[in-house]
Amino acid sequence: MTNFQNPIDPPEIVKGWIDNKVHHGKGKEIPVFYPGNGSQVSVLVEDTEDDIDKAVESARRTFDKTDWSKLSVEKRIEVLEACRQVILDNIDELALLECLGTGLILREIKGFHLQRAAYNFRFFAQYISQAHGERYDNTDGYLTLVNREPAGVVGLIAPWNAPMALATMKIAAAVAFGNCAILKPSEQTPFSLIKLATLLRDVLPEGVLNLVNGRGPVTGSSLVSHPGIDRISFTGGTVTGRQVMSDAGKQLTPCTMELGGKSANIVFASADYERALDGALIGIFSNNGQQCLAGSRILVQEKIFDKFVEEFVQRTKKIKVGDPLNDKTEIGPIASKQHMERILSFAENAQKEGDKVLVGGKRLSDQKTGFFIEPTAVLASSNNSKVCQEEIFGPFASFVPFKSEEEAISIANDTEFGLVSYIWSDHMPTIMKVSESMRSGVVWVNTPMMRELRAPFGGFKNSGVGREGGYSCEQFYTEEKTVSIPKTPLNLKKFGDEL
Ligand code: TXE
């Protein structure tokens, strides 16, 4: 049995970051584990209500009393580009810290997650360089301008499945539109984001990016409920999202919610078969299967169903699961013990409920310390089965056959979620009809996972509220102000002046 080594020497203790200084919170010490060997590697000091007060005061001070929110576009572009450079200059260390927290494969962290993190800042630098405004002339001689002003102090709540890529989208947007931010990383994966916050101290003035640590119901809910917060941007599970929105609603704080998914990956007989097979495997197994946009329900047309499933299973058996530091690894450990046990419980239940486990479903037998599971595929008894209705959020595919386009559409939409749909077909009328019928915020045709940052990303139904993307973020991270000015002096009605 192998016991994989930690990617990097872990920090002994993880603390918060307020006013560009280390902040020692008032709460408990929470253990943090490395998923690759299951051992506790560090503790984080939990921030409580008092600490949140300090973080909000600091952000508010910078927002209200300095020129941060009024920086010129040119200056702000420089700041965003400098943030990008900080990530690229420190990519090796940030990647190892991201790996330590998440167990994601180092190769993918460096090649994708951190490239995206850096690009998020460049994207918003480019976006604001072309920001547009509205102006209206009217026949009464008025000029009306619609100004966009920074929203204020924004709370950013990030999950554990891709901390750097997801949190930096929020940080970059907040900075681009002149806000001050308070970031709460997941308590499971604090290492890379706290490092980033400290590295950014030479670029961002104090109070622009504060970071608080701790569990959701303690630190997260104090942040969401704080009356000094003007926006909450949340990425996480649907159950938590409901709680966050209800807490924020008490202060009427606007929220965006990027929540879970149970996305249909629909493979028609008219598809390019090999490409669809590759796409289905990528759709469910990349990022250890822990992603909201995973194609976790694979619907395959009856004519090709048996062959497709058989070949999917054969390929799945060959996937290399193991050390995230090894260049050949394709799937690393699950992010936590609790999450691993939850995923495995779906495989156990599946047998009892009449579904058939085709491959996997167990913990890796030669690796009992880290949180490794076999990549899994299940033939569902129907789309009503638990494995088709609940978000499993791991390397776990559920197969369902369909006969016609109508049946595919009906099964695909038969879920509480509506984040993404994948369609594989070379028949244009099928592509058009099915994509128009999907109740999801995103549709990918003959491709897995294309993220165009200018376009909105988010979900229908229980997959979310609001969107992330260029214009969507501009709307969310700013307040609109309408200013009307007469172009020439007007003859106003004279109240109190006798007619
Ligand atoms: O996420 P949570 P969990 C899904 C996935 C997963 C399930 C549960 O199905 O199995 O959610 O994961 C913070 N107020 N996704 O429980 O709880 C928390 O500390 C404020 C989908 O780990 O949603 C963390 O920082 N904040 C997903 C963040 O919310 C609170 C990504 C996310 O944690 C809070 C992750 C509260 N009351 C899980 N409670 C995606 N959309 O990609 C928790 N948090």
Q: What is the pLDDT of residues 384-393, one digit of tens each?
A: 999 999 999 9
Catalytic residues: 258, 292
pLDDT above 60 for 1 = no
Question: Is 498 domain-assigned?
Answer: no
Question: Is 270 domain-assigned?
Answer: yes
Q: Give percent of the chain above pLDDT 70.
A: 99
Give the pLDDT score at 499.
Answer: 62
Domain CATH for 273? 3.40.309.10
> Over the chain, what is the mean pLDDT?
97
Kindly state whether residues 282 and 146 are assigned to the same domain.
no
pLDDT above 70 for 418 = yes
Pocket-testing residue among 52, 240, 393, ligand 1, by greatest number of atoms within 8 A of Cβ: 240
For residues 349-374, b (16+ Cβ closer than 10 Å) or e, as one string? ebeeeebebbbbbebbeebeebbbbb
Which is the closest atom of ligand 1 to the Cα of 241? 23
pLDDT digits (tens, 9 = 90+) for 146-181: 999 999 999 999 999 999 999 999 999 999 999 999
Question: Is 154 domain-assigned?
Answer: yes
pLDDT digits (tens, 9 = 90+) for 350-360: 989 999 999 99
pLDDT digits (tens, 9 = 90+) for 299-344: 999 999 999 999 999 999 999 999 999 999 999 999 999 999 999 9
Which is the closest atom of ligand 1 to the Cα of 391? 9
Give the pLDDT score at 2.
Answer: 66
For residue 130, how far is its CA from the centre of ligand 1 (angstroms)?
A: 34
Taking residues 36-62, what's their average pLDDT?
98
pLDDT digits (tens, 9 = 90+) for 255-267: 999 999 999 999 9
Taking residues 102-131, what's their average pLDDT?
96
For residue 186, how far is its CA from the centre of ligand 1 (angstroms)?
A: 8
Higher pLDDT, 437 or 130: 437
Domain with 379 in it: 264-445
Question: Is 8 domain-assigned?
Answer: no
Kindly state whether residues 235 and 309 are assigned to the same domain.
no
Atom 18 in ligand 1: which residue has the minimum CA distance?
216
pLDDT above 90 for 444 = yes
Kindly state whether residues 38 and 141 are assigned to the same domain.
yes
Kindly state whether residues 31 and 176 are assigned to the same domain.
yes
pLDDT above 90 for 3 = no
Atom 33 in ligand 1: which residue has the minimum CA distance?
236
Kindly state whether residues 23 and 129 are assigned to the same domain.
yes
The total domain count for the chain is: 2
Question: Is 490 domain-assigned?
Answer: no
Question: Is 450 domain-assigned?
Answer: no
Domain CATH for 253? 3.40.605.10
Give the pLDDT score at 173.
Answer: 98
Give the pLDDT score at 29.
Answer: 98
Kindly state whether residues 249 and 306 are assigned to the same domain.
no
Kindly state whether residues 103 and 204 are assigned to the same domain.
yes
Question: Is 272 domain-assigned?
Answer: yes
Kindly state whether residues 215 and 234 are assigned to the same domain.
yes
Predicted TM-score of the model (pTM): 0.97
Kindly state whether residues 195 and 299 are assigned to the same domain.
no
Q: Give percent of the chain above pLDDT 90.
A: 94
Kindly state whether residues 361 and 421 are assigned to the same domain.
yes
Kindly state whether residues 423 and 371 are assigned to the same domain.
yes
Q: Which residues line ligand 1 (CB under 6 A)?
A: 157-159, 161, 184, 186-187, 215-217, 220-221, 224, 235-237, 240, 243-244, 258-260, 292, 391, 393
Kindly state whether residues 251 and 317 are assigned to the same domain.
no
Which is the closest atom of ligand 1 to the Cα of 239? 23
Question: Is 493 domain-assigned?
Answer: no
